[in-house]
A and B are shown apart, each in its own frame.
Chain A
Amino acid sequence: MKIAIPTEEGKVAQHFGRSPQFTLAEILKGKVINTEVLDNPGHSPGAIPQFLKEKGAQAIIASGMGARAMEIFENSGIAYILGAEGSVDKVIEDFISGKLENKASTCSEGSGKGTGIEKDGCGHHH
């Protein structure tokens, strides 16, 4: 699968829309088989999600993003993980090993209160 990560100097960029670059990593059988680093195509409304979609991203790993971007990804069936920070390489490693914490609870267990979360199903891939 292909994942995209907003990148600034090798780290997860703090601002999705103004991230200077995006790392596009292709993962197969638990290994990164290809990596591309693409320049930000420009922050006009909806441009970045569209751009990443065209590049074949199936999941986004970011620290945060605007509501518009989230909506576009949701409508395109692209998963997103929030709350990631630090080295992009480490984030990809943690993602592959399942250790990456997702602060967008629509895909994570244990968030919310109570003895069991009723999941409606994620509707997209991890």
Chain B
Amino acid sequence: MIISVASGKGGTGKTTVSCGIALSMGYCQFFDFDVEAPNALFLLKPEIRHIQKVTVKHPVFLNGTGASFKDCAEFCHYNALAVVGTEVIFFPELCHGCGGCILVGPEGAVREKDIAIGEIKKGAASPGIDFFMGDLKPGNTRTTNIQNELEHYIDKDRLVIIDCPPGTSCSMVNAVRKSHYCILVTEPTPFGFNDLLLSEEVVNSLDIPFGVIINRDGIGNNDVENYCRQSKIDVLAKIPNDKGIAKFYSRGEPITDFDSGFKEIFSNIILEIKIKNQ
């Protein structure tokens, strides 16, 4: 079963929760899909056993041959090509690596080359966690390419935990869309509430059942909880605001080390999710 952990607002506690779940259950697959700023490794402390480069294909134009690249520029959906006479200017930041210009371009005048955009790392963390993460090279924008490489390793017959990037843009949608259930982590503040509604919209449009964990309970008001009750959204847990948890986190120590009682809380949440969604 694939369970994603997402949030609208950043910093609400996704990684705290996703790692807490993994450490409580053990013997699962854990994927850090926040490839722009992966942080689960600091809490799970995996031994990395395999690093794999992720590449995308970029075109190489043989300018100066007199060949016309007009077709390529017209074809490019992403405006990555500008034709000046018979020369073409290529904007790598806009290229999506679709390979279309290579297909439609004049024979032999457009080649392709592999550009490394980042890596995926595979390893193991205790207890029995198969750990996978992506790492996008700074300056690159192709988060989904790295996420899609990671996706190959998902074994949906096992318990799979996916730590998602914050927000509701492409990379979050891509991280969430294959999951069977999504845990939305929020905080009980106006921003937390607003961004919870945005992320709810995403999971609803993807038809993914979800529940909410309210983290740092006590710092705001009851609006989130009231909303969930009215909308019949499961509030899976309320984690109290505690400086101790934050201190542990800042030292790379997971919430289950702060208080081993969380192991039972997270295990029960997973049990509840499995019962209601199988």
Contact = CB atoms under 8 A, between A and B. Distances in A.
A124 to B, nearest CB: 15
A83 B57 CA distance: 28
Interface size class of B (residues with CB under 8 A): 20 to 34
A114 B59 CA distance: 13
Contact of A70 (B48, B55, B113, B124): B48
Contacts, number: 68
Q: From DSSP, what is the main secondary structure of chain B's interface residues?
A: strand
Interface residues of A, number: 24
B47 A117 contact: no
A7 interface: no
A60 B192 CA distance: 46
Contacts of B57: 114
A65 B47 CA distance: 4
Interface of B: 41, 45-55, 57, 112-116, 119, 123-124
Interface of A: 15-17, 63-67, 70, 82-83, 103-106, 111-118, 120
24 contacts: A64-B49, A64-B50, A64-B123, A65-B47, A66-B46, A66-B47, A66-B48, A83-B49, A83-B50, A103-B49, A103-B51, A105-B52, A105-B53, A106-B53, A106-B119, A111-B52, A112-B53, A112-B54, A112-B116, A113-B114, A116-B113, A116-B114, A117-B114, A118-B113
